[in-house]
Structure 1
Amino acid sequence: MRRDRGSHEVRTLISTIVLLLSIHSTLGFYLPGVAPEDFQTGDSLNVKVNKLSSTKTQLPYSYYSLPYCRPQTIVDSRENLGEVLRGDRIENSPFVFKMREPQMCHVVCQLTLDPKTAKEFKDKIADEYRVNMILDNLPLVEPIPRLDQEAPPVYQLGFNVGVKGQHSGSKDEKFFIHNHLTFTVKYHKDMQTDSARIVGFEVKPFSVKHEYEGQWNENTRLTTCDPHAQRTVSSSNSPQEVEDKQEIIFTYDVKFQESNVKWASRWDTYLLMSDDQIHWFSIVNSLMIVLFLSGMVAMIMLRTLFRDISKYNELETQEEAQEETGWKLVHADVFRPPNNSDLLCVYVGTGVQFIGMMLVTMMFAVLGFLSPSNRGGLMTVMLCLWVCMGFFAGYVSARLYKMFKGTEWKKIAFRTAFLFPATVFAVFFVLNALIWGQKSSGAVPFGTMFTLVFLWFGISFPLVFAGSYTGFKKPAIEDPVKTKQIPRQIPEQAWYMNPIFSILIGGILPFGAVFIELFFILTSIWLNQFYYIFGFLFLVFIILIVTCAEISIVLCYFQLCSEDYLWWWRSYLTSGSSALYLFLYATFYFFTKLDITKPISGMLYFGYMLIASYAFFVLTGTIGFYACFLFTRLIYSSVKID
């Protein structure tokens, strides 16, 4: 019997390991950070190419969507779920270096343009597409000098496919391609072993109309770029124009430069480019809002509320037959279930799912587990945590549903598992169809779409149902006061207590606490920059939680004092309305900071920002709801009710 039990446990353990490995391979997820690789002199350095990206179109394309020089066999690198959703397409390239062995005027290939290929290059140049490359998991950057010569240069990811302008006095606009690349590989040398680690990968692109004598072949020597004569290209060379029947020769130089930067600090160049003072200003701005709200809440709790509770309890003990006023007057109606209580339960459960996902993700990021060297790792972790938090979404929605005297827990579980993901997936599917129509690498392939559906129906759905079953089996949450059968009539409210007005006012302060940090987030997403200041972001997120809770409590107290007991939905919408201001700010950002002109790109921007605003609404609304839920239970359990 024990042997059977032991074999059963072994089989269970093996099946669990197989399941985890299958999920691991499906997601392509791995822990962040790449082990340093030591290179000896003469070791091969294989450069990989990534997507072509543009901040004007927001539509990434594969590197070989343009007729660039190709290796004999194109090999796709294995990408995780986050990389695929970001549009990354990492492939090998014909650029192969030898460690610490400089090369000059190395010819990659020769290409003669036809009308089709010329148009493809012109379109990408006009849309300001940049070529992204990777060496030893480090992205290629182009240093741009500042006006202040002593200041460090600004680094931009990749290099432009080409430039457009005028040449040789012509008034017609011409297109010139960057066909010569001067690479600089920075390395940190180990003095004991003489090995080296790569700590920098920079490029300076040139457009050069190469010339040679005789007929072209593999051994032809260029007169414009001759390694034997130690002559390379410079800005004085004639640029290579992009036109039909033009011959383009692609070349590159490689220089190796020893650096004092250690391998562990090689990402600092990319990550520490933003000004920390602005982020501190954002924190101080947010803290001022929190202190203002905290003062109001303290005044309500310590003075007004405690005074009310003492007066009400005194009236009960002295048996004074005075008419009740203020928030105590609605005690028999304050916990009456709201209209559309099922929908409220669904949104609160989904909000808890979001809060759990955000908190755990930020803790991982603050502790350094989500390194930028793990491309797509942040998005992969967020999707995994969203799926895993489905249990808590089902649990919370079922508990709230049972408190509202609901009986069909399966219905509420289904709606919790389906409503928000289905809405987002529908918008995402339409946007993906638009990207697919543009033949962009940003279009999610069928296999990845199947993975997303599997995560939704195969993991999230069962977890939501398991959470709902567990939550519904728990005893119902009891109200601190009894609710009468006949609802009380709500008196006419002052203009400033109008639901629409108070809801819109309530969303301003939570948005004001985060809008400065929101600028950097939008810049990193839409202007192709790194964002890695998760310590600041975590502080701002905590401030957002406190702000949403406090503004909801303040307005809920004023509402109850006006004898309006319909606080359930208003508490959710008060802080949730900050999502409206987020979308309005995103619209302002679109017209002031971005240079998007194509309709498809504009639809992608507003589609994704609509999804982000919807998620922000669910997140902040849930915070406000729970703050008011705990507040009302606290104050009504503190007074004596006959």
Structure 2
Amino acid sequence: MASNLRSILCLLLLSLLTIDTVTSAKYKQDEKIVLYVNKVGPYYNPQETYHYYSLPVCVPEKIEHRSLTLGEVLDGDRMAVSLYDIQFNKSVPHAELCTLVLTANDIAKLQEAVEDLYYFEFVFDDLLMRGFVGHLEEGAFLPHNHRTYLWTHLHFSFGYSGQEVVEANVSTIGATAYSLDDTEPPVKVTFTYSVSWSKSLRSYHDRNKELKVFFPKSMEIHWLSVINSVVLVCLLLGFVTIILMRVLHNDFARYNVSDDDPDDLRDQDNYGWKIISTDVFRFPQNKGLLSSIIGVGTQFITLSLAIILMALLGLFNVHRHHAMNSTSILLYALTSFIAGLVSTNFYRKINGESWVWNIILTSSLFAFPFFLTWSTVNSVAWYHGSTQALPFTTIVLIMFMWLIGKREERHKSIIAPSIHFICI
């Protein structure tokens, strides 16, 4: 009964996580397709994101949000229905979206967004479209001055193959930017858009393979941090090697005593590095901590290998990271029993007695420090209104998954003493 219940719970969680699959959506001529607005944020800090409607832009009377998977929520997505009226294979030369009356506070907020190089993200038929909120024009160096402009017109270009959308792009080509500096609030601003459709030879299954990289490659790999870490590791290894060489040199000097030296200097069989021969038969003092580290480490090795294997099999969309995030959380919950099994078996082999403490330590060795760190980061993100802050329902779901995984871990830990390995 308990096994069936766990299976049902796992199936429910899998249905909530929803890994990316290629499902074709076919549209009829002039059929309306919803364009979702998602998030905005600084271009050079993609982890700082806010809801698109947090800016003074065209907002519907009633904001309707799209249901999201766990991975999309973890990625900071907050998709909402927009006012753009886009129909399949129907070009629109020019259309008015709305007219806003911008106050001084609205203009200041838009100027700050333009100065921070805010980008926006739209989703059209599960295709990402990104662009900039405005344009920053730098002046002379001395005296320094700059001007901020707002893009009030967006051009959407789509490609179709048969009844499927295979290309989506947004641009400001041919648009005139609206100056935010030469205005005295309140001021009326009209937002417009245009749509163009063209036939494409690209198939639906290949539409994500040639997406343009919006963020610079330098942001994907922080080479300076990697180089600093490598240099620091090399320096530490060098210092440790020098110290060990000096210690070993002194030990060898003691071992190479001539026959003329006193007997008390020659009796050095168990001195210095040779004492390691006796240490291998001694149990460590912190048995529970060592066992927990080995168990949790084995779990993370298994988790990493599983994710790498799934990535090699092409189960993840490289342009949508939410599938990997949700899969990692699910696999972490499902592999929790490995940590309990390995930790308890090793703890038993080194004659550990407090198995209850071993289970508790294994369960919280990674989870507790991670929870404290995440709570701090999530609280800061929530305070600033960032979409990176997880909603309460998502936190409950993740805690529920963690409790299921830890229940399996404790169950395996209890039955683990009856399992024997030939070697450690």
**TM category, shorter:** 0.7 to 0.9
- Residues 432, 444 of structure 1: 8 Å contact kept: yes
1:205 aligns with: 172
TM superposition shift of 1:104: 1.4
1:23 aligns with 2:5: no
When residues 81 and 261 of structure 1 are mapped into structure 2, their CA distance, relative to the original with a 3 A threshold, is: same
Q: Please, which of 47, 66, 76 is the counterpart of residue 87 of structure 1?
A: 76
1:226 aligns with: none
Q: Which of the two has greater strand per residue?
A: 2
When residues 69 and 471 of structure 1 are mapped into structure 2, their CA distance, relative to the original with a 3 A threshold, is: same
Q: Please, which of 341, 346, 369 is the counterpart of residue 292 of structure 2?
A: 346
Partner deviation per Cα, 1:343-373 (whole Å, 9 max, x = no partner) = 1211111111101111111212211222247
Q: Please, which of 165, 171, 196 is the counterpart of residue 137 of structure 2?
A: 165
1:175 aligns with 2:148: yes
When residues 364 and 171 of structure 1 are mapped into structure 2, their CA distance, relative to the original with a 3 A threshold, is: closer
Q: Please, which of 379, 395, 405 is the counterpart of residue 460 of structure 1?
A: 405
Where does 1:348-497 land on structure 2 (aligned, <5 Å)?
348-372=294-318, 376-456=322-402, 458-475=403-420
Question: Take 2:39 and 2:75, find their aligned partners in 1: how far apart are those partners?
Answer: 10
Question: Take 1:125 and 1:238, find their aligned partners in 2: how far apart are those partners?
Answer: 12
1:134 aligns with 2:123: yes
Code of the aligned partner of 2:62: T
When residues 410 and 203 of structure 1 are mapped into structure 2, their CA distance, relative to the original with a 3 A threshold, is: same
Specify every segment of 5 or more residues in structure 2 that has no aligned partner in the other structure, as ranges: 222-268
When residues 116 and 329 of structure 1 are mapped into structure 2, their CA distance, relative to the original with a 3 A threshold, is: closer
SS at match of 2:64: coil
Q: Please, which of 82, 88, 110 is the counterpart of residue 121 of structure 1?
A: 110
TM superposition shift of 1:272: 8.7
SS at match of 2:295: helix
Partner deviation per Cα, 1:107-143 (whole Å, 9 max, x = no partner) = 0000111012112211211211111001110101xxx
Question: Take 1:356 and 1:95, find their aligned partners in 2: how far apart are those partners?
Answer: 46
TM superposition shift of 1:166: 6.0
2:178 aligns with: 239
Q: How many residues align?
A: 367
TM superposition shift of 1:384: 0.6
- Residues 399, 477 of structure 1: 8 Å contact kept: no
Question: Take 2:3 and 2:354, find their aligned partners in 1: how far apart are those partners?
Answer: 33
Question: Take 1:42 and 1:48, find their aligned partners in 2: how far apart are those partners?
Answer: 18
TM superposition shift of 1:374: 5.8
2:260 aligns with: none
TM-score, normalised with respect to structure 2: 0.79
1:186 aligns with 2:159: yes
TM superposition shift of 1:55: 3.8
SS at match of 2:366: helix
Partner deviation per Cα, 1:222-242 (whole Å, 9 max, x = no partner) = xxxxxxxxxxxx35x463436
Partner deviation per Cα, 1:576-631 (whole Å, 9 max, x = no partner) = xxxxxxxxxxxxxxxxxxxxxxxxxxxxxxxxxxxxxxxxxxxxxxxxxxxxx7xx
Question: Take 1:330 and 1:66, find their aligned partners in 2: how far apart are those partners?
Answer: 66
TM superposition shift of 1:254: 0.6
SS at match of 2:82: strand
When residues 100 and 327 of structure 1 are mapped into structure 2, their CA distance, relative to the original with a 3 A threshold, is: same
**Cα RMSD (Å):** 3.0
When residues 327 and 84 of structure 1 are mapped into structure 2, their CA distance, relative to the original with a 3 A threshold, is: same
Question: Take 2:362 and 2:177, find their aligned partners in 1: how far apart are those partners?
Answer: 64
TM superposition shift of 1:160: 0.8
When residues 166 and 426 of structure 1 are mapped into structure 2, their CA distance, relative to the original with a 3 A threshold, is: closer
Code of the aligned partner of 2:178: P
2:30 aligns with: 42
Percent identity over paired residues: 25
When residues 333 and 241 of structure 1 are mapped into structure 2, their CA distance, relative to the original with a 3 A threshold, is: closer
2:95 aligns with: 106
SS at match of 1:264: helix
Question: Take 2:319 and 2:86, find their aligned partners in 1: how far apart are those partners?
Answer: 21
TM superposition shift of 1:325: 12
Question: Take 1:423 and 1:100, find their aligned partners in 2: how far apart are those partners?
Answer: 53
Question: Take 1:440 and 1:238, find their aligned partners in 2: how far apart are those partners?
Answer: 27
SS at match of 1:185: strand
When residues 171 and 113 of structure 1 are mapped into structure 2, their CA distance, relative to the original with a 3 A threshold, is: farther
- Residues 390, 467 of structure 1: 8 Å contact kept: no
- Residues 150, 177 of structure 2: 8 Å contact kept: no
2:195 aligns with: 254
TM superposition shift of 1:83: 1.5
SS at match of 2:154: strand
When residues 98 and 272 of structure 1 are mapped into structure 2, their CA distance, relative to the original with a 3 A threshold, is: closer
1:625 aligns with: none
TM-score, normalised with respect to structure 1: 0.53
- Residues 183, 254 of structure 1: 8 Å contact kept: yes
Question: Take 1:48 and 1:430, find their aligned partners in 2: how far apart are those partners?
Answer: 31
Question: Take 1:375 and 1:416, find their aligned partners in 2: how far apart are those partners?
Answer: 29
SS at match of 1:455: helix
2:226 aligns with: none
- Residues 76, 89 of structure 1: 8 Å contact kept: yes
Specify every segment of 5 or more residues in structure 1 that has no aligned partner in the other structure, as ranges: 1-8, 141-157, 190-195, 207-233, 280-322, 479-628, 630-642
SS at match of 1:337: coil
TM superposition shift of 1:17: 6.1
SS at match of 1:270: coil
Question: Take 2:198 and 2:180, find their aligned partners in 1: how far apart are those partners?
Answer: 32
SS at match of 1:335: coil
SS at match of 1:432: helix
When residues 272 and 104 of structure 1 are mapped into structure 2, their CA distance, relative to the original with a 3 A threshold, is: closer
TM superposition shift of 1:465: 1.0
- Residues 288, 357 of structure 2: 8 Å contact kept: no
Q: Which of the two has greater helix per residue?
A: 1
Code of the aligned partner of 2:156: F
Question: Take 1:30 and 1:74, find their aligned partners in 2: how far apart are those partners?
Answer: 24
- Residues 98, 191 of structure 2: 8 Å contact kept: yes
Question: Take 1:239 and 1:97, find their aligned partners in 2: how far apart are those partners?
Answer: 24
Partner deviation per Cα, 1:5-36 (whole Å, 9 max, x = no partner) = xxxx8x985x55653454345xx211321311
Question: Take 2:209 and 2:71, find their aligned partners in 1: how far apart are those partners?
Answer: 23
TM superposition shift of 1:327: 9.4
- Residues 135, 177 of structure 2: 8 Å contact kept: no
SS at match of 1:106: strand
1:227 aligns with: none
- Residues 132, 159 of structure 1: 8 Å contact kept: yes
Question: Take 2:212 and 2:295, find their aligned partners in 1: how far apart are those partners?
Answer: 36
Question: Take 1:454 and 1:329, find their aligned partners in 2: how far apart are those partners?
Answer: 49
